[in-house]
């Protein structure tokens, strides 16, 4: 089984961290993982995306020409990436910044009001982890506990950051039934 996911948005939205956290969670579950970040030279405010491939066997290429899943944080990323997701795939939308539906009818789309939810818990910077939590719940590709443990690995020694991000991840996870 090999599954590829693209995470996309503006630089500064935590898109690369979202993908990295997912990759670390998959590694904690002994999956084979590739993580391929891509961002413009300007980074903050420019486009940023990353591809994460997870598998139970060797991954030949980290490139995702037709991923199963795409998580988009803003409208330009919706326009840029919606045609890449494979037929029958799932597109996750940050509905706080995306006020339109995908133009394709052959994919499922899931809207998560991540920005407003993040504001509701007092830190707009956590919208990325709210999106990741919803993604984890819907796809069941990794366990939420592996993702929370991954945050501990990534932010080792930063207790408040780990708590804040773990809370956001859990809120996103619990936002889907």
pLDDT computed for residue 47 by the predictor: 81
- Residues near 11 by beta carbon (within 8 Å), at least 6 away in sequence: 39, 40, 42, 43, 44, 45, 46, 47, 48
Q: Where are the domains of the chain?
A: 2-174
Is residue 149 within 8 A of residue 138, CB to CB? The reply is no
Class of domain 2-174: alpha beta
Q: What is the pLDDT of residues 132-155, one digit of tens each?
A: 999 999 999 999 999 999 999 999
DSSP state of 44: B
pLDDT computed for residue 137 by the predictor: 98
Q: What is the pLDDT of residues 51-100, one digit of tens each?
A: 999 999 998 877 777 899 999 999 999 999 999 999 999 999 999 999 99
């Amino acid at each position: 089984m090999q599954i590829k996911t693209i995470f996309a948005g503006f630089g500064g939205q935590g898109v690369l961290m979202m993908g990295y956290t997912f990759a670390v969670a998959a590694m904690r579950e002994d999956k084979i993982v590739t993580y391929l970040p891509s961002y413009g030279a300007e980074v903050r405010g420019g486009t940023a995306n990353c591809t994460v491939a997870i598998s139970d066997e060797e991954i030949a290429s980290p490139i995702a020409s037709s991923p199963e899943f795409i998580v988009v944080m803003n409208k330009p990323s919706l326009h840029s990436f919606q045609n890449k997701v494979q037929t029958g795939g799932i597109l996750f939308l940050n509905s706080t910044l995306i006020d339109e539906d995908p133009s394709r009818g052959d994919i499922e789309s899931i809207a998560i009001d991540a920005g407003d939810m993040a504001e509701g818990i007092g830190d707009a910077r956590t919208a990325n982890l709210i999106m990741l939590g919803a993604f984890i719940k819907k796809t069941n590709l990794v366990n939420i506990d592996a993702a929370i443990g991954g945050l501990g690995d990534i932010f080792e020694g930063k207790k408040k950051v780990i708590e804040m991000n773990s809370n956001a991840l859990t809120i996103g996870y619990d936002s889907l039934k």
